[in-house]
Amino acid sequence: MKVAYVDCFSGVCGSMVLGALLDAGLKLEWLEQELLKLGITGYRLRAAKTARNGISGTEFAVETDEGFVERAAREVFRIVEESGLDRDVKDRSIAVLRRVAETEAAIHDRPVDRIHLHEVAGLDSIIDVVGTVAGLKRLGVETLYASRIHVGTGFVRCAHGTLPVPAPATLKLLEGIPVFSHGIEQELATPTGVALLKVLARSFGPIPAMRVERTGYGAGTRELPIPNLLRISLGETDAEGYDADEVVLVETNLDDMNPEFFGHVSDLLWERGALDVYMTPIVMKKTRPGTMLSVLAPGHRLHDVVSTLASETTTLGMRIGRVERRKLARETVEVETRFGRVRVKLSRIGARIANLAPEYEDCRRIARERAIPLKDVYDEVRAAARAELTSGGTKTARSSPDQRFS
């Protein structure tokens, strides 16, 4: 399976992603022809080889005739929707642009359809988004992974004045994504760059097991104490349709804690980023019955897990290890039923559906509202889902980690 890994050691912005793709083999001539499908004029593409801290890369820029502009979100979506781009490129590009619009709407407490965008309203940002999505497809990338994102620090001037770094829109987009800062007093992560990875990347963390075939560097415009570059590695993985990542496993043995506390501790661990929490009955020294409490979590949540166990349980110590996981790709879709549209969770091995499960809360609500046995609702929704999936008419309900580009 063809995969790409985006290394954000110096942050991320849209032009750096496209610069890295061009550096890794995407042809500028092809990109220019593809972007003509947008039906917009008044811009020129520029790509030039350069170096940052002695490392060669490609600096990409969109030169436009327009100055600072604000477009309504619906106008930005319309430009892409009415273009001649492939349907999947349209959908993923609009998903990225919509994510920024929803973020702006949440920050300013306004409906999305009334939001005027400034972060991605310009032709340069629209081209960065569409060019990245189309470019990944052109290069045959099926799955995208990304590293933690270097966000920088300090202050930045924007349409709303001087704001702290990360700016509010960027920070909102970064929710759920691991980040770090090494004290570079610059804005290193932009809303466009973060939104691209938020929507398109399957996971954030170390580079997955892969055979690297090509590497490209996209250059930023400023000289920094570190190389102002974004690196993309293209290659193949042997995952055979499975997701792969690395997490931490924290375990502790407990034989003197009130059993009533376990539920409370589990809830706290889930709230603080745990991926799984489970308990195993064990026999400890002096044949005392005990419980082994195990927690799986992303690496950046290790401190939260350890501090929770230390303060909320009777533990005197914990075992910590890193484990590699293989996971089925997952997504949530909506299917049409006689009860209305109902969410269904899918897991896949490659393109094949491995498991299908109606969303419990949706089915429970329907069962209570209509006084129907819950198991009957489950059976009917499952049957409707299988029929709709077989006919190919499923509409994705929300963005999925399982992003495909070909």
Which tens digit of pLDDT belongs to each residue from 154-209? 987 766 678 898 988 899 999 989 899 998 999 999 999 999 999 999 888 888 88
Torsion of CA 241, 242, 243, 249, to 10 degrees: -170
All domains of the chain in start order, with CATH: 2-238 (no CATH), 244-317 (3.30.70.1380), 327-396 (3.10.20.300)
Can you tell me the distance from the alpha carbon of 216 to that of 22, in angstroms, rounded to the nearest whole number?
A: 7
258-261: long-range contacts, CB 8 A cutoff, minimum separation 24: 259/291, 261/312, 261/313
- Name the amino acid, one letter, at 217: Y
pLDDT of residue 67: 63
Enter the tokens of residue 370: 């209509």
In the chain, count H helices and then E strands. Answer: 11, 19
Are 262 and 290 in contact, with CB atoms under 8 Å apart? no
pLDDT of residue 48: 97
**What is the DSSP secondary structure assignment for residue 12, as one 8-state letter?**
B
Q: What is the rounded average pLDDT for all residues in the chain?
A: 89
Strand boundaries in 261-318, DSSP class E: 276-283, 289-297
Can you tell me the distance from the alpha carbon of 190 to that of 171, in angstroms, rounded to the nearest whole number?
A: 9
pLDDT of residue 163: 84
Enter the tokens of residue 262: 């376990």
Question: Rounded to two decimals, what is the model's pTM?
Answer: 0.71
Which residues of the chain are modeled with pLDDT < 50? 393-404, 406
48-61 b/e with 16+ CB inside 10 Å = b?
eebebeeeebbbbb
